[in-house]
Structure 1
């Protein structure tokens, strides 16, 4: 019974396209912008080389923003796929 319910809820597989890639990139940029203004200690050690795009981010802040951006991007892409946009 549970297996048939899960199979009925399954959707078509998501095919990668440039729109999916652009969506992921935009979500990562949004996460970096969000992190730039909300992380309490963005320049924690080890530091990254100076970069005007990333500001004074250290490695921990950059990894945190990238991880959040990928989680956000996966949610947006799967949500749009569920709505039939991708």
Structure 2
């Protein structure tokens, strides 16, 4: 019963393309900008080497914003794929 329901909800697989990569990059940049303006202590220890290349983020803030960006990116990519835009 559950298998037939799961198979009925399945869609065509999404192939990687430069468009998918560009969407993920843009969403991650947006997430980093959002994190830069909302994280209370963005330069918490442990620090990163050459922190000025990472926007002054420490390791926890960098990992948090990029993880958040990937979660948002997957949602955006799958949503656009479901709508037939990509």
TM-score range, shorter chain: over 0.9
Q: What residue number does 1:8 align with?
A: 8
* Distance in 1 (alpha carbons) for counterparts of 2:16 and 2:27: 16
Of 3-12 and 35-44, the range deviating more from structure 2: 3-12
Note if contact 2:51-2:58 (Cα within 8 Å) is conserved in structure 1: no
* Distance in 2 (alpha carbons) for counterparts of 1:13 and 1:28: 23
- The answer for unaligned runs of 5 or more in structure 1 is none
| TM-score (norm: length of structure 1) | 0.92
Matches within 5 A, 1:31-50: 31-48=31-48, 49-50=50-51
Report the alpha carbon displacement of residue 45 of structure 1 after superposing the two structures with TM. 0.6
Report the alpha carbon displacement of residue 55 of structure 1 after superposing the two structures with TM. 2.2
Q: What residue number does 1:19 align with?
A: 19
Q: Which has the higher helix share?
A: 2
Report the alpha carbon displacement of residue 15 of structure 1 after superposing the two structures with TM. 0.5
Q: Deviations over 1:1-36 (max 9, x none)?
A: 222121111100001110000000001000000000
| TM-score (norm: length of structure 2) | 0.92
* Distance in 1 (alpha carbons) for counterparts of 2:14 and 2:55: 35
> For 2:51, what is the secondary structure of its paired residue?
coil
CA RMSD of aligned residues (A): 1.1
